[in-house]
A = this chain, B = another copy of it.
Amino acid sequence: MMGMGMEGEKVIEKVRQVGERAKKASLSLMNISTGLKNAFLYALAERLEKNEQEIIRANRIDLERAMASGMKKALLDRLELNSKRIKDMVVGLRQIAGLSDPVGEVIEGTKRPNGLLITRVRVPLGVVAIIYEARPNVTIDSIGLGIKSGNALILRGSSSTLNSNLFLVEEARVTLQACGLPEDAVQILDSGTHEEVTALLSLREYVDVVIPRGGGELIKAVVENSRVPVIETGVGNCHVYVDARADLIMAERIVVNAKTQRPSVCNACETLLVHQDIASRFLPQIGKALQEKGVEIRGCPKTRQFLPQVLEATEEDWYTEYLDLILAVRVVRDVEGAIAHINKYGSRHSEAIVTEDYTTARKFLEEVDAAAVYVNASTRFTDGGEFGMGAEIGISTQKLHARGPMGLRELTTSKFIVYGSGQVRE
């Protein structure tokens, strides 16, 4: 027991040192030029391209360990780095280099009656910690976005990809140094212990924000235990509401797309709401279309009047993010019933109405409380790329700081710069 305590203390001290070095690196990253940041991104892209074989070899050690431990095939697939995936990482880095630099933007400014010129300028957050699961490409993706926005990074991936992550981080550190940048701008925690995460989440002195990227359990654990400010990303219990005045052909296309185009992601639709006046026409139509795509439906009693073969939905279904080919369906009285359902059960991610009625559309857009609200489009568009941000670090479902897809700009904060000529306060 005493031994464990000492191990724990060593881990805590090590994490503290990582934090201290990151803070120091972040101060020198704060004001470097866009050109230098882009030079790093291009150099890293080139290095990864050149070292493809070594990356695959490092990744294979993780894969073999995972196979030996009996990991399931779907998870093994997420873990694997192959030539195509390394190419994607490389392309991603070059895309980030092509995005405009948010740092240095003068957001607003005003000259006060006393002559003070007050400006608000965009600056990096400082030290960003990212806690993530599986996919080792998140390592390079985070490094690209983090460095481009002028932040120092502390990465904490899962132990199943540790060997791949260590290799990729070392590539980044070597490249940083070659570019004359502080290598401690990218650090990784590698003890694989719980103490390590706990220590990281309490490092308010050095860490400005922590972003969990992964499943609901990971996000919940970070939110509940962190004393560092958290940007919560993505649980998505999203809805499509088909109104009485919907174009039912458009509605079918949108519902099928939102549910089946990629069911495992957070902006996929989980519950369909249907206006009672069109239930008798639309439910058989959509039931057939979804059946052809292999979707299992769980319906409310009214839904089952028109789709008698489907299972009955329970209260729990309305709360569930299936991330699978399952759809809950409920008949509602009108748009107000739809809004009430969404505001009660939704996770405030992405919500859509299909309607041709102007006033109903406006009501839905204004009264539904979510990061993104759509009229006549699929919920699947909630994405940094689709919104024109170029790249995204995640989709925030909280309201502080960032809401919805987060791009480079959401990895910055602002600072007031005030120019005086001797002003004092009376």
Chain copies in the assembled complex: 2
Chain A, residues 362-375, CB within 8 Å of chain B (1/0): the string is 00011101111111
Contact of A27 among B367, B373, B377 (CB under 8 A): B367
> Are A229 and B227 CB-contacts (below 8 A) given A371-B416, A373-B417, A381-B425?
no
In the bound complex, CA of A416 to CA of B209 (Å): 23
Q: Is A154 an interface residue (CB 8 A)?
A: no
How far is A381 from B126 in the complex, measured between Cα atoms in Å? 25
A370-B418 Cα distance, complex, nearest whole Å: 12
CB proximity of A65 to chain B, nearest CB, Å: 35
Residue among A227, A376, A381, A387 with most chain B CB within 10 A = A381
A401:B403 contact, CB within 8 angstroms: no
Residues of B within 8 Å of A125, CB to CB, are 399-400
Say whether A96 faces chain B, with CB atoms less than 8 Å apart. no
User: Provided the pairs A224-B227, A378-B423, A423-B377 are in contact, do residues A416 and B387 lie with their beta carbons within 8 angstroms?
Assistant: yes
Q: How far is the CA of A229 from the CA of B398 in the complex (A)?
A: 9
Chain A 388-399 near chain B by CB (<8 Å), digits 1 or 0: 100000000011
Mask: chain A, 336-375; 1 = CB below 8 Å from B; 0 = not = 0000000100000000000000000000011101111111
Q: Residue A253 at the B interface, CB < 8 A?
A: yes
The complex places the Cα of A400 from the Cα of B207 at a distance, in Å, of 12
Residues of the B chain whose Cβ atoms lie less than 8 Å from the Cβ of A112: 386-388
Minimum CB distance partner of A396 in chain B: B413
Judge whether A31 and B367 touch: CB under 8 Å.
yes
Q: Which residue of B lies closest to A399 (CB)?
A: B413
The reply on A10 being an interface residue by CB < 8 A is: no
Whole-angstrom CA separation of A373 from B121 in the bound complex? 11
Q: Counting chain B CB atoms within 10 Å of each CB, which of A27, A229, A399 scores highest? A: A399
Chain B nearest CB: distance from A146 CB in Å?
14
Give the chain B neighbours of A198 by CB distance below 8 A: none
* B401 engages A401 (CB within 8 Å): yes
Central interface residue in A112, A118, A375, A424, by most chain B CB within 10 Å: A424
Contacts of A413 in B (CB 8 A): 399-400, 403
Q: List which A115-132 residues lie within 8 A (CB) of chain B.
A: 116, 118, 120, 125-126
- Cα–Cα, bound, A120→B369 (Å): 14
A146 CA / B378 CA spacing, docked (Å): 34
* Interface assignment of A420: CB less than 8 Å from any CB of chain B: yes
Contacts of A424 in B (CB 8 A): 253-254, 256-258, 261, 377-378, 380
Bound CA–CA A386/B366 (angstroms): 34
Q: A372 and B229: CB pair below 8 A? A: no
For A230, list chain B residues within 8 Å (CB): 229
Closest chain B residue to A257, Cβ basis = B424
Q: State which of B223, B375, B382 has its C-beta within 8 Å of the C-beta of A227.
A: B223
Residue contact A416 to B373, C-beta cutoff 8 Å? yes
Which are the 9 A-B pairs with shortest beta-carbon distances? Answer: A377-B420, A257-B424, A380-B425, A399-B413, A401-B401, A372-B416, A400-B401, A376-B420, A250-B422
- In the complex, 18 of the A-B residue pairs with CB atoms within 8 angstroms, ordered by the A residue number, are A110-B388, A125-B399, A126-B399, A224-B227, A229-B400, A371-B416, A372-B418, A373-B418, A374-B418, A376-B421, A377-B423, A378-B423, A378-B425, A380-B424, A381-B418, A381-B425, A401-B401, A404-B416
A-side residues, CB < 8 A to B, are 27, 30-31, 110, 112, 116, 118, 120, 125-126, 204, 208-209, 223-224, 227, 229-231, 247, 250, 253-254, 256-258, 261, 343, 365-367, 369-378, 380-382, 386-388, 398-401, 403-404, 413-425
